[in-house]
Amino acid sequence: MLIKKPEDFYPSEITPESVYLDRRKFIASGSGVVAASAFGWMPGFSGSAFAANASVNIWQQKMAGSLSKVKPGDFSTNEDKTPLEDILQYNNFYEFGTGKSDPSKNAGKLEIHPWTVKVDGECDKPGNYALEDLVKDSQLEERIYRLRCVEAWSMVIPWVGIPLASLIKKFQPNSNAKYLAFETLYRPEQMPGQKSPFSGIDWPYREGLRIDEAMHPLTIAAVGLYGQTLPNQNGAPIRLVVPWKYGFKSIKSIVRISFVEKMPHTTWSDLAPQEYGFYANVNPNVDHPRWSQKRERRLPGGFLGPKRIDTQMFNGYADQVASLYSGMDLKKYY
């Protein structure tokens, strides 16, 4: 169920109760860095071996003013949010390793300030943009979205970001711009997964959207979650969030946005096109070749085991986005 968030409900109110109540215990036990990571996004939440780096702290300082003025956004879900610790410690970010805990273990060295996004292609305002310049004049919103992984697990995450459409308008795409192509940072000295001979990925990681998908009000450029700046392991300092698509479409740590006329190459659809299509819309009626997509495991589960729920068409956002694909065969264009 989608709801519009009431105006008197603020991001600071959604910190998980367990994290809030335990903060003094963390500090009293001498785990100051661990406690700070829960609120200031220093890499190292809950026992990780990493300390904060200076660029993370600089970016937090630069974002402090904007984050203090986050407003509730439209289209949020009223489902229970995934606890902070699970969001930090369970994710896919192959640049840091293929294991679910690898990003939280290995992302601490990533330098995220200064950060530049290159914009090129079919637009009138190309250039190299400092991230703070892209964000500073934008109203940050909180969007509580479902995240459905193609691996059949899911979360509910309170993102902080801006509608991608507002950024696109700044770059003034021309009539030839039919798609957006995105690239992730390539920095193997800080992203050890990019050095692995076993990943099979042709780095840098690439993704793409049709321009009408990119301009849709649900699509956001996220710069935070749970009311604070993005943690490194979750795609700092800026990532895409497209909630009606499988999670791999929401590319992390973006350094390039290109306006192009033809459908761009994307990492997973190039690597295994029979398994990962360009559109990657959540669809319980189209199974992955190796598993069903009809149900999903909602994290974190409970004492009785995994929480299994039915997967919804377009991840529950069909009322908002189904018209984008009117007349398309969604089994063919998966």
Q: What is the pLDDT of residues 135-157, one digit of tens each?
A: 998 999 999 999 999 999 999 99
Q: Which two tokens stand for residue 297?
A: 């495991």
CB 300 within 8 A of CB 82: yes
Q: Write down the pLDDT at residue 5.
A: 40
| Parallel, antiparallel or unpaired: strands 153-163 and 295-302 | parallel
Pairing of strands 153-163, 220-225: antiparallel
Using pLDDT thresholds of 50, 70 and 90, give the confidence band for residue 73. very high
Which pLDDT score is estimated for 303?
Answer: 84
Structure confidence at residue 198 (pLDDT): 83
Radius of gyration for the alpha carbons in the chain, expressed in angstroms and rounded? 19
Q: How many CB atoms lie under 10 A from the CB of residue 309?
A: 12
Question: Any idea of the CA torsion for 80, 161, 297, 37, to the nearest 10 degrees?
Answer: -80
**What are the chain's domains?**
2-325 (3.90.420.10)
- SS in 3 state form for the chain? CEECCCCCCCHHHHCCHHHHHHHHHHHHCCCHHHHHHHHHCCCCHHHCCCCCCHHHHHHHHHHHHHHCCCEECCCEECCCCCCHHHHHHCCCCHHHCCCCCHHHHHHHHCCCCCCEEEEEECECCCEEEEHHHHHCCCCCEEEEEEEECCCCEEEEEEEEEEEHHHHHHHHCECCCCCEEEEEECCCCCCCHHHHCCCCCCCCCCEEEEEHHHHCCCCCEEEEEECCEECCHHHCCCCEEECCCECHHHCCCCEEEEEEECCCCCCHHHHHCCCCCCCCCECCCCCCECCECCCEEEEEEEECCEEEEEECCHHHHCHHHHHHHHCCCCCCCCC
pTM: 0.87
Taking only the tens place, the pLDDT of each residue in 115-130 is 999 999 999 999 999 9
For residue range 13-59, what is the model confidence (pLDDT) as tens digits?
A: 444 434 433 433 333 333 333 333 333 443 334 334 334 699 999 99
d(CA 150, CA 283): 10
The pLDDT, as a whole number, for residue 155 is: 98
Burial (Cβ within 10 Å: 0-12, 13-18, ≥19) of residue 238: buried
In the structure encoding, which two tokens stand for residue 185, read together? 């940072």
